[in-house]
Chains A and B, each alone.
Chain A
């Protein structure tokens, strides 16, 4: 009750006392946690390096220009590999995510006690582990190369695509499904006529969106040896050839911009 009667005067407050206290307490805790964590940061940082950083940065910039354009001829193949990894990985992910999403959606799962938790677990584990970690594991197991990269991107994207897709499935218009059911359609026919047309735009949108993200992700997989342009990036940094580094960054930038443009175009065409 934010309004209190005090004599003749009605006093209005935004919140009642307990709620206000709870909010103050929450804010206080947030600040305390931040201060505590900052202290930990401070202990683990050599501040001399940090204060020196602007000079270092200027120096690095200086050594980066001009980019070594002749190095470009060595980069076409890594760029192609990067796009290959992103595309095949996305393809693999959407193919696998499609059935998993149906198993995970509340309204289409065959059993919400058994199948749904398993599907959700697959989704969560796939999402929790960064594609770089997937790549790390796969490189250890399968050896370095593009193949490990494709699998890493695929495994990471299954969870992402399946999650967005099953949320879309849960939001479909049930009356359309009911109408198809009422014609005497079988389960598979209901899926084909009642459900799939409703989620198809979402499905296509999700795939393209994820492809766009995957182009960025596959650009870094090379850091752990899973193919793509990241390989050149890490070796150029290791050998401190900054003019190559700047060229690689520009190439990544261009690739990302082009992929963003493509995905925006495709999404526009679908909707």
Chain B
């Protein structure tokens, strides 16, 4: 279970990105974090694995207090949290396989990683994951030869090969077309279920959040303004999160599109097989 208490982040510029956040994510829960740009979504998930240093407050993953770990301990803790990025953040000039294996860097020594001599177990697992997302034939392709959806799948493999307890996912669909977005979200949720992972997904797209997450947290100017099931996300709630806009129309339109889409688009499992 992940638990954030009084988490506050103030940047050097003086901007207060997070104000006193209290949040709990139970094991196995997929939670979507929605909110306008600049609300602090990105900062929040980066505070969890301390890519951004929180100013005050605590972050606990199960029984370790992440916010007070030293550098070495922090590296160990980061292994337990897989991260998936907006724009994929693959190392573009490395091959697909090297990118996936880079998820094991926290487990192997420097020289082993330098000569690319990863343990056979890691390599088996890497092939298994690539097969699961349908990319095992691409292992020796360079990452920049892949399409957006394929790259994000590699990103997912890199996060999962860490054998994490928690996934931190930052705008996974921001640069993907609507169809691929859904496939990727579906894949992430399926994998979370298979492996009983909990996940925090930052997402712009309210629709996708409603479709796939069990719980939705709305963030606005660094504060939690909504926390509840996707079904309760009414036009009023959206107005408090994003500001005044004609939400009714958006929601209805979304529902129509949704039905259509489910009929015409193969599920990720189909796409994979």
Instruction: Give me the interface of A with B, judged by CB distance under 8 Å.
Output: 173, 175-176, 178-186, 188-189, 192-194, 197-198, 200-201
1/0 per residue, CB under 8 A from A, across B67-83: the answer is 00000000111110111
Residues on A with C-beta less than 8 A from B106 are 183-186
User: How far does the Cβ of A34 sit from chain B's closest Cβ, in whole Å?
Assistant: 46
Interface status of B271 (Cβ within 8 A of chain A): no
CA distance A98 to B260 in the complex (A): 56
CB-CB < 8 A to B49: which residues of A?
182
Residues of B contacting A192 with CB < 8 Å?
110, 113-114
A182 touches B114 (CB 8 A): no
In the complex, which residue of chain A has the Cβ closest to the Cβ of B75? A184
Of the residues B92, B94, B162, contact of A183 by C-beta under 8 Å:
B162
Q: Is the CB of A200 within 8 A of B93?
A: yes
Instruction: List 6 interface pairs A-B (beta carbons < 8 Å), by A numbering.
Output: A173-B89, A182-B78, A184-B107, A189-B113, A192-B113, A193-B113
Q: For B74, give the chain A residue with the smallest CB separation.
A: A184
Residues of B within 8 A of A181 (CB): 51, 78
A188 and B89 CA atoms in complex are apart in Å by 19
With A178-B85, A189-B113, A193-B113 known as contacts, the answer to whether A183 contacts B93 (CB < 8 A) is: no
Residue of A nearest to B46 (CB): A178
**Is the CB–CB distance between B158 and A183 below 8 Å?**
yes
A183 / chain B contacts, CB cutoff of 8 Å: 78-79, 82-83, 102-106, 158, 162
Looking at the assembled complex, report how far the CB atom of A178 sits from the nearest CB atom of chain B, in whole angstroms: 6
The reply to whether B83 and A197 contact each other, CB–CB distance below 8 Å, is: no
Min distance, Cβ B122 to any Cβ of chain A, angstroms: 12
Expressed in whole angstroms, the Cα–Cα distance for A198 and B143 within the complex equals 12
Would you call the interface of chain A mostly helix, strand, loop, or mixed?
Answer: helix
Could you say which residues of chain A place their CB within 8 Å of the CB of B104?
A: 183
Are A197 and B91 neighbours in the complex by a CB distance under 8 Å?
Answer: yes
Contact between chains at B76 and A176 (CB < 8 Å): no
Cβ contacts under 8 Å, B85 to chain A: 175, 178-179
Total contacts A-B at CB 8 Å: 84
B87 touches A188 (CB 8 A): no
Q: Which residue of B has the minimal Cβ distance to A178?
A: B51
In the assembled complex, the Cα of A140 lies from the Cα of B51 at a distance in Å of 53
Q: Given A192-B114, A193-B105, A185–B75 Cβ distance below 8 Å?
A: yes
How many of B's residues come within 8 Å of A, CB to CB?
33
CB distance from B73 to the nearest CB of A (A): 10
| 17 further contact pairs, Cβ within 8 A, besides A197-B92, A197-B94 | A176-B89, A176-B90, A176-B92, A178-B51, A179-B85, A179-B89, A180-B91, A182-B78, A183-B82, A183-B104, A184-B75, A184-B106, A184-B162, A185-B102, A192-B113, A193-B102, A193-B105
Residues from chain B with Cβ under 8 Å of A178 in the complex? 51, 85, 89
Closest A residue to B83 by CB, please name it. Answer: A182
For the complex, give the distance between the alpha carbons of A176 and B83 in Å. 12
- Give which listed residue, B75, B76, B83, B98, contacts A179 with CB less than 8 A: B83
Q: Which residue of B lies closest to A185 (CB)?
A: B105
Q: From A195, which residue of chain B is reached at the shortest CB distance?
A: B91
B114, closest chain A residue (CB):
A192
Are the CB atoms of A186 and B162 closer together than 8 Å?
no
A219 to chain B, nearest CB (A): 35
Within the assembled complex, what's the spacing in Å between the Cα atoms of A194 and B90?
A: 9
Q: How far is the CA of A260 from the CA of B75 in the complex (A)?
A: 47
Which 6 A-B pairs have CB atoms at the shortest separation, nearest pair first? A184-B106, A184-B78, A185-B105, A179-B89, A184-B79, A182-B83
B105 touches A184 (CB 8 A): yes
Say which residue of A173, A182, A186, A197 sits within 8 Å of B81 (CB atoms).
A182
Residues in chain A near residue B75, CB distance under 8 A: 184-186
Complex contacts, A185 vs chain B, CB 8 Å: 75, 102, 105-106, 113
How far does the Cβ of B2 sit from chain A's closest Cβ, in whole Å? 15
State the CA gap A181–B158 with chains docked (Å).
12
Contact A180 B105 (CB under 8 A): yes
Say yes or no: B158 contacts A201, CB within 8 Å.
no
Given the complex, which residues of A lie within 8 Å of B162, measured CB to CB? 183-184
User: How far is the CB of A22 from the nearest CB of chain B, in Å?
Assistant: 34
Q: Which of B76, B82, B89, B113 has the most CB of A within 10 A?
A: B89
Residues of chain B with a CB closer than 8 A to A186's CB = 75, 105-106, 110
Q: Which of B79, B87, B89, B94 contacts A193 (CB 8 A)?
A: B94
- Tell which of A184, A194, A197, A201 touches B76, judged by Cβ atoms closer than 8 Å: A184
Which residues in chain B, 97-118, are within 8 Å of chain A measured between CB atoms?
A: 98, 102-107, 110, 113-114
Candidate in B79, B82, B110 with the most chain A CB atoms within 10 angstroms: B110
- Chain A residues lying within 8 Å of B86, measured Cβ to Cβ, are 175
| Chain A residues near B89 (CB-CB < 8 A) | 173, 175-176, 178-179
What A residues does B94 contact at CB under 8 A?
193, 197
Task: Determine the distance from Cα of A193 to Cα of B93 in the docked complex, in whole angstroms.
Answer: 10
Q: Which one of A179, A180, A185, A189 has the highest number of Cβ atoms from chain B below 10 Å of its Cβ?
A: A179
